[in-house]
Amino acid sequence: MSKIDPELKKKLLKESQTPFKGLRRTLWIAFSGSAFFGLLIMLSKIASGGELQQNNFLIQFGACILFPTLLFVDRNKD
């Protein structure tokens, strides 16, 4: 018989199935914030009349879609 508390055993089993989940979610939040902040800066540059390369804008816009999507996919499924 195992002397480990059933709740602790369940928690450890869940952690072994999805290691570093907290770290991944923290990174997705940080990257999402950075992408949205960068997009805000680019939009303010466009609004002030400055020129901006379309490729840079598309990369930034893609990051604003990608990182929140990764955060959503990495959520708890319980």
- Tell me, yes or no, whether 49 lies in a domain: yes
With respect to residue 38, please indicate whether it lies within any of the assigned structural domains: yes
Averaged confidence pLDDT in the chain = 89
In a domain, 15, yes or no: no
Residue 13 placed within a domain:
no
Cα–Cα distances in angstroms (integers) from residue 45 to residues 21, 34, 52, 61, in the given order:
36, 17, 8, 15
Q: What is the pTM of this model?
A: 0.76
**CA dist., res. 43 & res. 35, Å (int):** 12
Q: Examine residue 63 and state whether it is found in any structural domain, yes or no.
A: yes
Question: Per the domain annotation, does 9 fall within a domain?
Answer: no
Query: From the CB of residue 73, how many other CB atoms can be counted at a distance below 10 Å?
Result: 9
d(CA 76, CA 24): 13
Count how many domains the chain has: 1
Q: Which residue range forms the structural domain that includes residue 67?
A: 20-73
pLDDT in tens, 16-44: 888 888 899 999 999 999 999 999 999 99
Query: What angle do the packed helices 21-47 and 54-73 form, to 10 degrees?
Result: 150
